[in-house]
Amino acid sequence: MLNAQIINFNDADEIGEMHASNASDTPMHERAFELEDDEKIARISEHFSSIMDLLGLDLRDDSLRGTPKRVAKMYVQEIFRGLNPENKPSVTTFENKYNYRRLVIERNIPLQSTCEHHFQPIFGVAHVAYIPNGRVIGLSKLNRIVDFFARRPQVQERLTVQVVEELKRLLHTEDVAVYIDARHMCVQARGVEHHGASTITAEYSGKFLNETTRQEFLMAISTALPQ
């Protein structure tokens, strides 16, 4: 039996619908890394079998028999792999020998995450910018950083802040901006079922708090934004 914190689920529903978080760190308990991935997959598979059984599904059917393990592997190895710090991308920065001092922008970074309130998918794009200080970063690493923090149960606000904080740490600069535009299946596939809705979050720090620099960034990504 899993050790679990006792939660008043009426309170949990209310907190979840507020769509807010008190910290930029993903909430994780102290036992998060006690089990190896294989053990996590085995236990999740067992519990997901129970969920399917409670829903009335016949796990003896050929189509359903392997579903619990498939879901468990997907959770641990794919869509929630960003929970494991061992999967954090190895990032090397380089000396800014060419003394480039203007914006570096990576637009249209594909983003796939999971809403932590309903475990429904989130799909969208991220636009990331920074102004080099003494170091620069390989462009593909910006994509990998976004993907790492996205691959966990998330709220979009926290994801935006996490990417900004990680880039500030790696580049030793405050001059970072992140803009995310994403569609949430918890809005489109349940509840109000509004298929055209998307959510925009943005975080600016350092020189991006200056109106001129921020507008330069927003103008640069404007052709990538849906009209």
Catalytic residue among 77, 118, 120, 165: 118
Residue 187's domain is classified under what CATH number?
A: 3.30.1130.10
Catalytic residue among 127, 154, 156, 188: 156
Can you tell me the distance from the alpha carbon of 101 to that of 197, in angstroms, rounded to the nearest whole number?
37
pTM for the structure as a whole: 0.86
107 and 166 together in one domain:
yes
Write the pLDDT tens digit of every residue in 85-118: 999 999 999 999 989 999 999 999 999 999 999 9
Q: Is residue 4 part of a domain?
A: no
68 and 119 together in one domain:
no
Backbone dihedral region for residue 99 (phi beyond 0: left; psi -120 to 50: alpha; all else: beta): left
Residue 34 in tokens: 């006690």
Tokens 């983003």 correspond to what residue? 111
If you count DSSP H runs as helices and E runs as strands, how many of each does the chain have, helices first? 7, 7
Final residue belonging to a domain, choices 69, 87, 105: 87
User: Which residue range is the domain that position 146 belongs to?
Assistant: 93-222
Final residue belonging to a domain, choices 58, 87, 116: 87
81 and 125 together in one domain:
no
Tokens 């960003």 correspond to what residue? 82
Residue 47: active-site member: no
Residues facing residue 129 across a β-bridge: 105, 177
Polymer length in residues for the chain? 227
Total domains present in the chain: 2
Catalytic residue among 116, 162, 166, 188: 116
Write the pLDDT tens digit of every residue in 21-54: 446 899 999 999 999 999 999 999 999 999 999 9
Q: Is residue 67 part of a domain?
A: yes
Residue 211: active-site member: no
Residue 154: active-site member: no
147 and 194 together in one domain:
yes
Residue 184: active-site member: yes
Can you tell me the distance from the alpha carbon of 134 to that of 175, in angstroms, rounded to the nearest whole number?
12
Catalytic residue among 106, 115, 162, 188: 115
Q: What is the pLDDT of residue 103?
A: 96
Residue 115: active-site member: yes
Catalytic residue among 127, 162, 184, 188: 184
117 and 165 together in one domain:
yes
Residue 215: active-site member: no
Catalytic residue among 127, 186, 188, 203: 186
Residue 116: active-site member: yes
In sequence order, which ranges of 90-172 are alpha helices (DSSP H)?
A: 139-150, 156-171
Measured N-to-C along each axis, helices 139-150 and 156-171 cross at an angle, to the nearest 10 degrees, of 140
